[in-house]
Structure 1
Amino acid sequence: MTATDAIRQALDEQQTVEITTIGRRSGRPRRMETWRYRAGGRYWLSGSPGRRDWYANLLAHPEFTLHLKDQDLPVRARPVTDPAERARVFGEIVPSLSWAGTMESWLAGSPLVEIELGG
C-alpha cells in the first residue's frame, strides 16, 4: 500500500476532520473541525451555504494541514468555481444529506474545495 493509499483509507474512515489553515489577514495558523465529503472518487471540503473563514483563508493560502487520526498531512486546496463542476460534485454530496436544504442554495452559496493529496 502506498502512502497515498493509506491516506485515502484514513479519509474514507473519517468524515469529521480537522484542518489548519493560515489566516488570510493574521498569517497565523487556524485549526478547526469540519466535514470532508467524497464525490467522483475525490475528497472535498464544503459547508452549508454561508460565508466561511476557512474558505477565505484557503483562497489566500491554499496549502493547509489535514489532521487525520495520528497523521498531520500537508495538502493543498483547489477551490472549485466552475458552475458545471460544482453541480457535478454537489449533485453527489447534497442528496445524501437530509439536513442540507436545496441544491440551488448549495450551488449559490456554499464553498467547495478539492483536497489535493500528494503522491
Structure 2
Amino acid sequence: MDPEVRAAIEITPAAGTRERTIDITTTGRRTGRTRRIEIFFYRVDGRTYLCSGTSGRPTSWYANLLAHPDFTFHLKHGIRAELPARALPVTDREERRRVLTEIVADLNQPHNPGTIAQPTHLRNWLDSRLARVTFP
C-alpha cells in the first residue's frame, strides 16, 4: 500500500472530523446496485472499523455489507484513493465492548472529532453497527 494512503488510514486520536470522514460504496443487498454514502471510520488497536449510530435502528450500509462484504473505501480529504476493502461484522460481545469503549473514548476528546454531543456514553453505543475493515 502506498505510504501516503497508509498514513491516511492509520489515523490517531489527534485526527479531526475531516480526516475521519470517508465515503464507502456498497452493493445493495436487494437491488445489486452500488450505493455510496459518507461515514466516519475509526482506528482501534491498529485495526480499521466502521461504526455508526447509537439508535440501534438498522442501516442500509451495514445490511449491504452483511450481504456483500466487499466494498470500496474512498479516502477524500488530503489524499484521494479508492481502496478495495472487505467488512467483517464484529459480533463477539467482548470484542464489541473493547472496540466500542475505545471509540467512545476517542469521541469524547476535547476537540470532539465526531462532532457529537459530549459526553457520549458506552451504554448508548452497545447496539451500534460495527464492522472491521480489511484491505486485501
C-alpha change, 1:61 and 1:21, in structure 2 (3 Å) is same
TM-score (norm 1): 0.88
Q: Percent identity?
A: 47
- Aligned to 1:57, what secondary structure does the other structure show? helix
The aligned residue for residue 29 of structure 1 is 34
Give the aligned residue type for 2:121: T
- Aligned to 1:87, what secondary structure does the other structure show? helix
Alpha-carbon deviation of 1:5? 4.5
Give the unaligned 5+ runs of structure 1.
Answer: none
Give the unaligned 5+ runs of structure 2.
Answer: 109-116
Q: Residue 4 of structure 1 contacts residue 117 of structure 1 at CA under 8 Å; is this kept in 2?
A: no
The aligned residue for residue 112 of structure 2 is none
The aligned residue for residue 102 of structure 1 is 121
- Between Structure 1 and Structure 2, how many residues are aligned? 115
TM-score (norm 2): 0.77
Alpha-carbon deviation of 1:23? 0.5
Q: Which has the larger share of helix?
A: 1
Tell me the C-alpha RMSD between the 2 structures: 1.6
The aligned residue for residue 59 of structure 2 is 52
Give the aligned residue type for 2:129: P
Residue 46 of structure 2 corresponds to residue 41 of structure 1:
yes
